Amino acid sequence: MNENRVLLSEREMPTVWYNILPDLPRPLDPPLHPLTREPVKPEDLAPVFPPSLIEQEVSSSRFIDIPGEVLDIYRLWRPTPLVRARRLEKALNTPARIYYKYEGVSPAGSHKPNTAVAQAYYNKKDGTKRLTTETGAGQWGSALAMACQFFGLECTVYMVRVSYEQKPYRRVLMETWGAKVYPSPSTRTKAGRDILEKDPNSLGSLGIAISEAIEDAVTTPHSKYSLGSVLNHVLLHQTIIGEEAKLQLEKIGEYPDIIVGCVGGGSNFGGILLPFMRDKLEGKKNFRGIAVEPVACSSLLRGRYEYDYGDVAKNTPLLKMHTLGHEFIPPAIHAGGLRYHGMAPIISLLYDAGLIEAQAYHQNAVFEAAVLFARTEGFVIAPETAHAVKAVVEEAKKCAETGEEKVILFNCSGHGFLDLGAYDQYLSGKLPDVNHEK
């Protein structure tokens, strides 16, 4: 019998996160203070982040132990399965072997709890009583709401308005876990009011929602801000995905020729990619890493590699990253988690160094791949994840043409059960293809 799933027991789950910073081909350019444009110091970040996470952001330790309290919560859903997509392979008539790491089994339905639980733990440990954050499609907001509930923290979420309206049940999910959720831009902050004064009908963006969440955090006692992607410590926490995948592939004697993930800020792609990138940087293995973006918001393919703010109001440090500009408001595509103007500095550096590549697709092509995946593998996936599936389908078709038996691994980063409105639009022929707009 050909097995479809490769499983790890709870005892086999990795107990460390991998920190790629000491292994990068060159050091990351330092974040700059938004006012002085000088490299930020730890004390500059103290109003926003707790000391433990500031330390992780700049750590030079290659491996960082996962705290026992975090591992205990991880075990609610981890280790996640590695699945061989045999039915998809058959439908594509490809000799490629396709594997996906299914992160949709988490309580929040995505990879996001891997860092949400860690961030809530460290905030609780350092005395924080309340966390604020932004969310696009709601996957990150729901993950943090759940994590805050586990550790007894209050949680306030600024949800990008277009997603707030498109995905009402994501709001309900966050509120079920005890969070307060507001559409962004809102009238609760100066940043939000300034945007609404210029554009009362603003669709919002992650850059705006970040501005609101940071302003709320720094002006409210005992509060800190939590980010769901982009920063080094966020990608660090997500490496549990790739560390598990390596162990699972070793069990069956496989190693990927291609690793694929969708990218908005870069956390889920980084999570599966970076543990394998360690092998590539050491010269032990070689593979292609493919970051997949929406055409409507493609920071790697269309952005500039330069210093930019992470938010509209210029509250964040400037990061050296691929960016479309902090004032860029992406079109209202359904992949709300990919509607961000910038890219994680780590992913940006790897792309600039030629160690990974990028591809971009329109909405209808992405949903076509998602429907194919649902009709072969059974899982209805998030619009964000569907970008990765589209790239996998294209690579598998190339293998069908060449006869190459490549091993393709991708991160199936979340389910799409709360995205059925988008599927309805696609299936009824009403889903628009949206191009990048400046």
Spell out the domains of the chain, with CATH numbers in brackets.
Answer: 5-12+71-109+231-428 (3.40.50.1100)
- Closest of 95, 63, 53 to residue 242, by C-alpha: 63
- Which residue has tokens 């460290």? 122
Run of H or E including 98: strand 97-102
- Closest of 294, 291, 321, 316 to residue 306, by C-alpha: 321
For the chain, how many residues are written? Answer: 438
> What's the CA gap between 359 and 44, in Å, rounded?
36
Rounded to 5 degrees, what are φ and ψ at 14? -55, 145
Answer yes or no: are the C-beta atoms of 151 and 184 closer than 8 Å: no
* 127's tokens: 């005395």
> What's the CA gap between 373 and 367, in Å, rounded?
10
Run of H or E including 17: strand 16-18
- pTM equals 0.96
Q: Is 283 helix (H, G, I), strand (E, B) or coil?
A: coil
- Closest of 438, 395, 433 to residue 96, by C-alpha: 395
Answer yes or no: are the C-beta atoms of 166 and 147 closer than 8 Å: no
Radius of gyration, CA atoms only, the chain: 20
> CA torsion sign, 121 to 126 to 127 to 129?
negative
> What's the CA gap between 87 and 81, in Å, rounded?
17
pLDDT at position 313 is: 85
Per-residue confidence of the chain (438 residues) as pLDDT tens digits?
678 999 999 999 999 999 999 999 999 999 999 999 999 999 999 999 999 999 999 999 999 999 999 999 999 999 999 999 999 999 999 999 999 999 999 999 999 999 999 999 999 999 999 999 999 888 999 999 999 999 999 999 999 999 899 889 999 999 999 999 999 999 999 999 999 999 999 989 888 999 999 999 999 999 999 999 999 999 999 999 999 999 999 999 999 999 999 999 999 999 999 999 999 999 999 999 999 999 999 999 999 999 999 988 888 999 999 999 998 877 767 766 787 899 999 999 999 999 999 999 999 999 999 999 999 999 999 999 999 999 999 999 999 999 999 999 999 999 999 999 999 999 999 999 887 654
